Structure 1
Amino acid sequence: MCFIICLIGNHKVGKSTIFNKLTNTKNAIISNKKYFTTDRKYGICNFKKFKFKIIDTPPFNFFYNNSILSKKLKFQIKIAISESNIILFIVDNKKGLTYNDIFLSDYLKKKNKKIILIINKFENNLINNLKLIDFYNLNYKNIIKFSNNISINNLINKIIKNKNKNKIKNKKFIKVIILGKTNVGKSTLLNKIINKNRLLIYDLNNTTKNYIEIEYIYNKNNYLFLDTIGFNKKINNIYFKKNIKIIKKSNLILFLIDSKNKITNFEFKILKYIYKLRKSLLILINKCDLINKNEKKNYKRNIKKKLKFLYYTKFKFISAKNNLGINNIIKKIYNIYISSIFKFNTYNLNKNLIKLNKISLLKKNIKLKFAHQGSIKPLKIIIHSKILNKNNKKKCILYIEKYFYKIYSLFCTPINIIINN
């Protein structure tokens, strides 16, 4: 079992900063904006031989109003607490003990979890030392005074002592990234796939502020889903660059588009980039309940025409909100993954080269000599050949790609053909 640490505290106490230090990343974006963190954010802390999961949470405030967003924030925090083994209760030494800290302390003590009180933003002076007395009166056995000048190792060592040195095994994950425009239904889809209201769903643009990693086990296979910030031209560059980085790391991509809107030039650009990387891809056309049968036919025909370079992908109509077409998505993901790790038999590959050499397009432009597999994820076939006409090289490569894709019955997974002259 993976040991899980949960960060709990009010607004601007430094949860995201501590999360970034523990995970040695900048995944939790730090902002002065209230309730900027609106989801549970997952990360991994590696320290010497130890490894554990960290959850960053939205601000916990007992004086929330009764808005829909406030209720959903509370729900996210409750789930994070229930999943965790240790709670890091973070308070602000500069502000001193607040009423919210007192209420939150009482609430956490009822959860029967191990709690470490982190007194953040600590400075060794008379005023702050007087404020410390109030925090010590909360009666916690494990208390750490922390600031930017203090090594994170002190905190990690305290966590290790509390976790009784449980060792965590490395897992192999099928990494799935969910991409799409802002408010297209990515978080709703993921909630339906994993059958758990784990992400914040709220009808506002850019509700998912950072990408979110979620582990899911189905039929003994470990999946790691990454729900991302929606693509939007106006969006800050930080988010866009993060999505590009995680596209490279993923095994396969679920790309959501809205059935009521035409595909945009920006979406087209991203899909071109996915093809360039030869990533496995399934395109999901969401909100299909809003269009009739004829509209579906026309939409599918038009999008196939525009995206004809994605010869290998499948287009599936779904309604994430109404749970239409969702049931078999996890099985499709697994089938795509199996295609992405397919191992070609060298003898069989070269048998097919003989057939390809007889096709007129190739016969005039290229002579194929010997083929072998270069890699998996992405699939790569290296072909040693003699190029007769360089002008038609791209045409020949695309023909070979499609030929092998069809002959080996691959699913939503392209092949990168490398021609060595």
Structure 2
Amino acid sequence: MKPTLVLVGRPNVGKSTLFNRLTKTRDAIVADLPGLTRDRHYGHGKVGSKPYLVVDTGGFEPLAKDGIFHEMARQTEQAIAEADAVVFVVDGRVGITAQDKEIANKLRKLERPVLVAVNKAEGMKHTVVAADFYELGLGEPFPVSATHGDGVRDLVEMALADFPEPDEDDAKDETPRVAIVGRPNVGKSTLINALMGEERVIAFDMPGTTRDAIFVDFERNGRKYTLIDTAGLRRRGKVFEAVEKFSVVKTLQSIEDANVVVLVLDADQDISDQDAHIAGFVVESGRSLVVAVNKWDSLDAYRRERIKVDLEHKLKFLSFATFHYISALKGLGLEKLFTSVDRAYAAAMAKLPTPKLTRVLLDAVARQAPPRHGGIFRPKLRYAHQGGSNPPLIVIHGNALDSLPESYRRYLEHTFREVFKLQGTPLRVQFNTSHNPFATKEVRKIGNPRDTFYKNREKKS
């Protein structure tokens, strides 16, 4: 098992910057704004031969009794309970604050190592910047610079000193990545918590509670997944705060990094154009898709029928996706939802053998031949092979394929999807047309060799 390092501290001391340094990523949003991180954010790192798991937490305000800061404090306390070692991050340029002392009082009661990282120490004399922090009673402070990397390696080596070298078979397995996306306040975080069976991310009755993309390792029925909780996506004209703009970018990146996307819709609200825009981006990204219509338990029969009609009208381009009607708050419909997630992942990663693809193609052509182009010649489809996965790409070779009508392309796509059971994933079909090597401009310039012979003969005479 990898040891877990948890970063703790008051707001705006540089925990997310240190998280990015430790994981060698830009996974955590960093901006000069306090309270930007709210949920636990997990990442993987390695120093020397020792891998570790690092957890970024929101600004810790242990005295908060209600509101979002109380929820953030609960998340931090849960992370501390999971920790093998705690890194208490303080601001070396500001010095000790009353809030630092409150946090230190809690950390001194722990039965696990606590290291004090005095951040923003670049350009300062280390003995001077560290001196004040001995007052916290947590041992020797470590001056570091998360921005420049100064002292960070020594800090991590000290945190991991008592942990053994990892076994060779501890390599991280590739697991399906499932992104939960949708508009603000549709129940994405509630769905994550229902699947986990614990309050893993903050679910608060306020739009915009989730700001970053939160990665959660998750196991269901013996299979491992990585769930990605994302910030709600609003229309571009409604996005004003710089933080929210960062959140939108992180959500779009999460969609592209995922294998399967669960689009969460709110049954209490009408299906909006923004829902269709989000679904369209998922399809353009080529990601498998499952649609979860949340809060279904609160609707009467008439309203349910109206929602289904609305879905069929506004999201008809999602004919390949499976729709589920769930209640994340009550845990209804989640088993079938994840069955569809598994099916969509299998379809996205499916291996399509060339002989079978070609047989399916030729059978489809035999049932319905492509129409003649201009009433003169008929495109000829010769063979097919797989060109990629996630999403599946089928490459078809033949002659004059650029003249195939869109309706015939859809017919072939439907045939492949039906035969190979590619439910839940977009399917790309690419046509590669063979060209006649004798139909080049150079050959046309030369013309008929026999005509050239007679012209030369006339000149000589």
Residue 336 of structure 1 contacts residue 413 of structure 1 at CA under 8 Å; is this kept in 2? Answer: yes
1:123–1:47 distance in 2 versus 1, CA, 3 Å: closer
Q: Secondary structure at the match of 2:386?
A: strand
CA distance in 2, matches of 1:283, 1:289: 16
Please show how residues 3-402 of structure 1 align to structure 2 within 5 Å.
3-64=3-64, 66-122=65-121, 132-141=130-139, 143-147=141-145, 148-149=147-148, 150-166=150-166, 168-233=170-235, 234-235=238-239, 236-360=244-368, 362-364=370-372, 366-387=379-400, 390=403, 392=405, 394-402=406-414
For 2:109 and 2:339, the matched residues in 1 are separated by 40
TM-aligned CA distance change 1:257 to 1:36, over 3 Å:
same
1:81 CA displacement: 0.8
Q: Which runs of 5+ in 1 are unaligned?
A: none
SS in 2 for 1:328: helix
Q: CA deviation at 1:87?
A: 0.5
Structure-2 change in CA distance of 1:60 and 1:276 (3 Å): closer
CA displacement, residues 247-269 of structure 1 (integer Å, 9 cap, x when unaligned): 22211100011223333333322
The question of whether the paired residues in 2 share the 8 Å contact of 1:300 and 1:315 is answered with: no
Quote the Cα distance in structure 2 between the aligned partners of 1:113 and 1:375.
48
* Pair 1:2–1:230, CA change in 2 (3 A): same
Contact 2:13 / 2:119 at 8 angstroms: preserved in 1? yes
Counterpart CA distance in 1 for 2:368 and 2:303 is 40
Are the structure 2 counterparts of residues 255 and 388 from structure 1 closer, same or farther at C-alpha, using a change threshold of 3 Å? Answer: closer
Tell me the distance in 2 between the aligned counterparts of 1:263 and 1:387: 42
Whole-angstrom distance in 1 between the partners of 2:234 and 2:261? 18
The 8 Å contact of residues 361 and 396 in structure 1, kept in 2 or not, is answered as no
What's the CA shift for 1:290?
2.8
* Cα deviation, residue 121, structure 1: 2.6
- Give SS of 2:90's match: strand
Measure, in 1, the Cα distance between the counterparts of 2:325 and 2:366: 39
Alignment partners' CA distance in 1, 2:322 and 2:95: 57
Percent identical across equivalent pairs?
Answer: 27
Amino acid at match of 1:194: M
Count of equivalent residues: 418
* TM-score calculated relative to the size of structure 2: 0.83
Question: 1:361 deviation in Å?
Answer: 6.0
> In structure 2, how many angstroms separate the alpha carbons of the residues matched to 1:407 and 1:239?
40
2:158 partner amino acid: K
CA distance in 2, matches of 1:388, 1:331: 38
Q: Secondary structure at the match of 1:16?
A: helix
Q: Is the 8 A contact 1:76 1:198 kept in 2?
A: yes
Distance 1:96 1:389 in 2: 69
In our comparison, the structure showing a higher alpha carbon Rg is: 2
Q: In 2, Cα distance between the equivalents of 1:144 and 1:133? A: 10
* One-letter amino acid matched to 1:418: Q
**TM-score, normalised via structure 1 length:** 0.91
Q: Secondary structure at the match of 2:153?
A: helix
Q: Aligned partners of 2:194 and 2:384: how far apart in 1? A: 43
Q: Which amino acid aligns with 2:197?
A: N
Deviations 1:109-132 (A, max 9, x none): 322112111122336768x85674
- CA separation of 1:355 and 1:57: change in aligned 2, threshold 3 A: same
